């Protein structure tokens, strides 16, 4: 085991122009851990309710994911539903039932605490900090957040990300967090807040990594069949951080960081090809490396 992932485990209802699914496995922790599991050993921390299906636990366990930190609480699992616009660039939330997730207090099993890599999915910053504090020998911490925490719990968030090596957010969050509309200035301001490296996710337009060695731009992958973008950003995070953890990377080699961004993009792109986590049921490492090679081919000049 090497990477601990914390975040929501949920059931999602999703409607896209390609179809709809009433209820399927979802949640940031689920997507991040599944994507990362192709690169390194993963252990998750989350909470589910009585309705959590054993087949969903089996999917995760089948990918070697340690579920010792997945708490089972009385009540229902977090449920979220949404619908996408025709071009799938806009998402409208239909329902958010926090259920057992409302009282989530992540407690790390003893054997998690000595692990070297930690990724904090988008949850309340104070909880992210409490998890970070439980880790005793961490080499690198990455995390995500969202507009709600930036707006409502700004001071707490700033104290939290100060301890992180990597912050992964989307462009509107980067602008909101920094107060700068210009992405370069936004990034410079955010790097002053603590994280050594910032990755700005831009959806279909790829991602940009900003760090001490300047920036690196990865384009989006042009999908043949976009089915469901839910979880793509989390799969980017899982691919990115999972790759680094798998390399036992001390997060300072700029070439490895660039490759990690591409692996993140690769995992985000696969995620969109089927509903929910379905693509990860059949995906192989050979397919992943094939797409990594495709990125080389369509970006080189």
Positions in the binding site for a second copy (CB under 8 A): 86-87, 181-184, 202, 205-206, 208, 214-220, 222-226, 255, 258-259, 261-262, 295-301
Indicate the residue among 107 and 184 with the shorter CB distance to a second copy: 184
The candidate with the shortest Cα–Cα distance to 168, out of 264, 47, 61, is 264
What is 178-228 written as a DSSP string?
HS-SSHHHHHHHHHTTS-SEEEEE-GGG-EEEEETTEEEEEPPP--S----
Closest distance between a second copy and the C-beta of residue 184, in Å?
5
152 Cβ contact list (under 8 Å, min separation 6): none
Return the closest-CA partner of residue 10 out of 104, 89, 83, 90: 104
The residue among 55 and 298 lying less far from a second copy, judged by its C-beta, is 298
- The CB-of-187 to a second copy minimum distance in angstroms stands at 9
Q: Taking the CB of residue 194, how many other CB atoms lie within 10 A of it?
A: 15
**Nearer to a second copy among residue 16 and residue 99 (C-beta):** 16
Is 153 or 176 the residue whose CB approaches a second copy more closely? 176
CB of residue 223 to a second copy, shortest distance in Å? 7
CB of 116 or CB of 220, closer to a second copy: 220
Residue corresponding to tokens 């986590």: 277
Distance, in Å, from the CA atom of 122 to the CA atom of 219, rounded to the nearest integer, reads: 24
Least separation in angstroms between CB 197 and a second copy: 15
> Among residues 136 and 181, whose Cβ is nearest to a second copy?
181
The minimum distance between CB 89 and a second copy, in angstroms, equals: 10
CB of 258 to a second copy, least distance (A): 4
Place of tokens 């700004």: 154
d(CA 205, CA 217): 10
Q: Dihedral sign for Cα 247, 249, 253, 256, please.
A: positive
DSSP letter for 77, please: -
Q: Which is nearer to a second copy, 88 or 140 (CB)?
A: 88
Q: Can you read off the two tokens belonging to residue 214?
A: 């300047």
Minimum distance of a second copy from residue 215's CB (angstroms): 6
């Amino acid at each position: 085991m090497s990477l601990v992932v914390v975040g929501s485990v949920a059931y999602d209802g999703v409607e896209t122009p390609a179809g709809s699914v009433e209820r399927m496995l979802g949640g940031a922790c689920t997507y991040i851990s599944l994507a990362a599991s192709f690169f390194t050993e993963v252990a998750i921390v989350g909470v589910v309710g009585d309705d959590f299906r054993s087949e969903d636990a089996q999917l995760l366990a089948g990918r070697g994911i340690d579920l010792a930190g997945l708490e089972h609480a009385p009540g229902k699992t977090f449920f979220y539903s949404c619908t996408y616009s025709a071009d799938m660039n806009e998402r409208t939330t239909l329902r958010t039932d926090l259920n057992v997730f409302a009282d989530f207090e992540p407690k790390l099993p003893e054997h998690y605490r000595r692990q070297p890599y930690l990724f904090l999915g988008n949850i309340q910053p104070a909880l992210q900090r409490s998890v970070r504090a439980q880790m005793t020998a961490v080499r690198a911490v990455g995390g995500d957040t969202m507009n709600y925490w930036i707006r409502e719990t700004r001071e707490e968030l700033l104290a939290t990300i100060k301890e992180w090596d990597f912050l992964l957010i989307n462009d509107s969050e980067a602008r909101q967090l920094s107060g700068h509309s210009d992405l370069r200035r936004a990034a410079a301001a955010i790097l002053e807040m603590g994280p050594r490296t910032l990755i700005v996710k831009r959806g279909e337009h790829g991602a940009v990594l900003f760090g001490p060695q300047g920036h690196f731009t990865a384009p989006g992958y042009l999908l043949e069949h976009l089915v469901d973008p839910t979880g793509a950003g989390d799969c980017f995070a899982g691919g990115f951080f999972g790759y680094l953890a798998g390399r036992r990377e001390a997060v300072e080699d700029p070439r490895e960081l660039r490759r990690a961004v591409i692996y993140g993009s690769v995992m985000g792109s696969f995620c969109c090809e089927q509903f929910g986590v379905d693509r990860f049921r059949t995906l192989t490492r050979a397919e992943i490396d094939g797409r990594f090679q495709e990125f080389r081919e369509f970006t080189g000049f």
